[in-house]
A and B are shown apart, each in its own frame.
Chain A
Amino acid sequence: MIVYLLKRLAVAIPTLLVLIVVSYVLIYAAPGGPFDTERVLPPEVMANLERKYGLDQPLVVQIWRYVVSIVTEFDFGPSFQYKDQTVNEIIRQGFPVTLTYGAWAFAVAVLVGVSLGIAAAVRHNSFLDYLAVGVSIGAQVLPNFVMAPILTLVFTLWLGWLPGGGWQGGQWSYVVMPVIALSTSFMASIARISRSSMLEVLNSDFIRTARAKGLPRRRIVFGHALKPAMLPVISFLGPAFVGMITGSVVIDVFFATGGIGQFFVNSALNRDYPVIMGVTILTGALTVLFNLLVDLLYVWIDPRIRY
């Protein structure tokens, strides 16, 4: 087990290196540069900018310098767009925001989604099943860019209960709408996966045996069926969790939360190379980490799995 863990961690480092090199080359290949504007800068002004940010060096040198400063100083460089900010500072400010609403949204999505899915499977083809399926399909077809304006219209404009955006250090009234808007479609997916997986497990031989022994339904569902039914849900949850805590451009834009989700789009459009790299590496590292955690969870859930 320990050996396995070490092996996985050892693979993670070259994985991230490949991610850095490939991302850097891809951004660099995109037409237009970070300092292109409507106005054409005089060559001496452009040269000064390129020198200041090291863009006058060959690509290989740029990547090498970038990797070295990350490894030796954990410095992800300055932002080209936000000239008063470093990438470290941008992530330090923005990541706690997305982590907060993402983690809450994750908790809501899992709790509601799994409960709905199980209830629907246990009462298969009943009114409850149809209701759960209906709710999850409804949530699925209401993507967050539709949910967000509807929520603001209702809770901010009509009812006046919640502020229409902002974060204010994460006060609950600012967190509610981002959490609801982000969680709905994830909740729907989780509900569908857990429903079908539960149905499959409930039809398997060992459950029939348990029923034949006369065990109460509660014990069958929670004591025997739940764990194996959660396997496909958990493989979905690993990447979903990373996706949620690194935020969503829609949530950040609609609710003006100041999270890092919007940088995935904005920094690419602005050709803000260091910020694109920063958020890509963050997401990459978290993905590697959570995939590993999911694999470890498998061992706990399914004793047949050995590493």
Chain B
Amino acid sequence: MTLTSTLKAVVATAALVLAAGIQVQAAGTHPATGEALSDNQTFTYRLLDQFPTLDPQLNEDTSGYHVIRDLFEGLLNQDANGDLVPGVATHYAASDNNTTYTFTLREDARWSNGDAVTAHDFVYAWRRAVDPATASPYGWYIELTQMVNAGEILAGEKAPAELGARAIDDYTFEVRLDEPLPYFPAMTTYATLFPVHRATIEAHGAQWTAPGNMISNGAYVLKEMVLNEYHTRVKNPMYWGTDNVIIDKVTGLVINDVNQALTRYRAGELDHLEPLPPGQYPALKEELPDEATSVPRLCSYYYTLNHTESGNPALRDARVRKALSMAIDRDVIVDQLLKGGQWPAYNFTHLKTAGFRMPDIAYAGLSQSERDAEAKRLFGESGVGDLTLRLIYNTSESHKQIATVIGQMWKQKLGVRTKLANFEWKTYLNIRRNQEFDVARSAWCGDYNEASTFLDLLTTTHGANDGRYSNEKVDELMRASKTAEDPSAIYVEVERLLADDMAIVPIYHYANTFLLRADIKGWPYNNVENNWYSRNLYRVAN
């Protein structure tokens, strides 16, 4: 044996021993549940579209938020049920009738380069979010928090330094609000309010989020990022809780086409696929019972009715609006078209919204034949004879099916004709915003897990109230809800008013359908906002 071959043999043996050692370490058991863990602690999931940005303050997108939540950590996090748990802040105190919040930060929180995460990082990030120069499309989110001076700073009337957020010392962070906001702490779990690393942004400008440039404070760091193809994030050894992080590497693959994504899931290239192709959930549930799941998603699907002069005058008669709503057999839409575990809706707020008590809505309790009879009676009473409605929707196979089915129900039961028209998204928004319709397909997703995120939409001045529905009583109640000790009674009252008036036509409450490999555990099935953190996932040994 020559010297080099001896060396080679030694090196090879050493490598083998080392590899074996790592395997032994990686396998092990879950610290809390004691389950045996797999050697392979990677997680690969599908993204429908490329996320537009990884800059927390510029993000406005769910797929981006899934990544940012892993890379950065805010004051508080959500647990598997969507409840608040400590993040960078270990605890907080509310004072002055919920208008001042003081957060105490952990001292062991680190940026991925080793710098300490301090209250000053939060001050910098939050000022950056409202700075007109940043031009964050989520500026409205900060306005929603009622933080002192946020609106004026966004409008360029005050300097960002005047924002009601300050560092009392390195680890004490104080926020002042104009109005009491009981759910303010929950709002800190969103990306806009995450800290960012000032020196990195100042050094790299708009390119600071590129792999290699980005310094972050979450459980993972960005390793690779190829636009419209994939990105990877790997465990951040500097993260304060890194010892409890089990998944080493997360890969996100951008796959636009849902059937192609399903094929790749079947071929074993993905651990998680969401959403499933429309209508295929029951078949997949049968084929892969341990992998196919449907969970609530905080969005409501409804038809906006045009209450303005430009809409059909018949729609200004509440009896006609009610007749149209009651004539829709929502079970047909949910059970025969969508088939993904959605719920028929007779009210606006998603039924799984936190703290929401489902009101007693009269027509919800009727059978469909009773509703049909009532619809015919109301429509007859209104005296409207010949009615043709222009029903618009944004281009999509599913919206088209629903519009066609509803059009038929109206035709058969009430003799109301519909003219369908579809438009691509941006054109559609424009048309709907200008009230160029009688009935318009709409959906609203909660910005936070509380009923006002839905009900505010139907107040007179709300920007997304495209039907221009206006009811003084509703406005007044929603104003009162902001300062109420327990607003849930008010929400019930508002829902009743909306149903009495049939302000909109609720159709269904969303559900998310997805496939997840049976060996991936720790998925937060009960988090209705579907906020999953990779650091809570793990893969068990088969």
Contacts and interface: CB of A to CB of B under 8 A. Distances in A.
Contacts of A35: 137
A258 B53 contact: no
- In the complex, which range does the number of interface residues on chain A fall in? 35 or more
A39 B464 contact: yes
A85 B54 CA distance: 11
Contacts of B427: 30-32
Given A42-B139, A164-B264, A32 B429 contact: yes
A256 B228 contact: yes
B151 A44 contact: yes
Nearest to A42: B140
Contacts of B134: 48
Contacts of A57: none
B227 A90 contact: yes
A59 interface: no
B227 A149 contact: no
Contacts of B433: 40
B227 A36 contact: no
A84 B55 contact: yes
Interface in A36-80: 36-42, 44-45, 48-49, 51-53, 78
Contacts of B260: 148-149, 152, 164-165, 254, 256
A156 B426 contact: no
B317 to A, nearest CB: 28
Given A36-B429, A40-B433, A83 B154 contact: no
A195 interface: no
B226 A37 contact: no
Nearest to B46: A256
B135 A49 contact: yes
A40 B463 contact: yes
Contacts of A134: none
A42 B253 contact: no
Contacts of A39: 140, 463-464
Given A32-B430, A40-B433, A42-B463, A152 B264 contact: yes
A138 interface: no
Interface in A232-275: 252-254, 256-259, 262, 269-271
Contact of A153 (B253, B263, B443, B464): B263
B472 interface: no
A23 interface: no
Nearest to B444: A38
B108 interface: no
A123 to B, nearest CB: 40
Contacts of B227: 82, 85, 90, 93-94, 258
A49 B137 contact: yes
B314 interface: no
B445 to A, nearest CB: 8
A156 B267 contact: yes
B426 A166 contact: no
A28 to B, nearest CB: 13
A164 B265 CA distance: 10
B229 interface: yes
22 contacts: A30-B427, A37-B60, A38-B464, A41-B463, A52-B133, A82-B50, A84-B207, A84-B210, A93-B226, A152-B260, A152-B263, A156-B263, A156-B269, A157-B266, A164-B260, A164-B267, A165-B253, A256-B255, A256-B260, A257-B229, A258-B226, A269-B424
Interface of A: 30-33, 35-42, 44-45, 48-49, 51-53, 78, 81-86, 90, 93-94, 148-149, 152-153, 156-157, 160, 163-167, 252-254, 256-259, 262, 269-271
Given A45-B140, A48-B135, 20 more contacts: A31-B426, A32-B427, A32-B428, A36-B429, A40-B433, A42-B140, A42-B143, A44-B132, A44-B154, A48-B156, A51-B135, A81-B52, A83-B58, A93-B226, A94-B227, A165-B255, A257-B228, A258-B230, A269-B425, A271-B426
Q: Which 4 A-B pairs have the closest CB atoms?
A: A40-B463, A32-B426, A258-B229, A52-B135
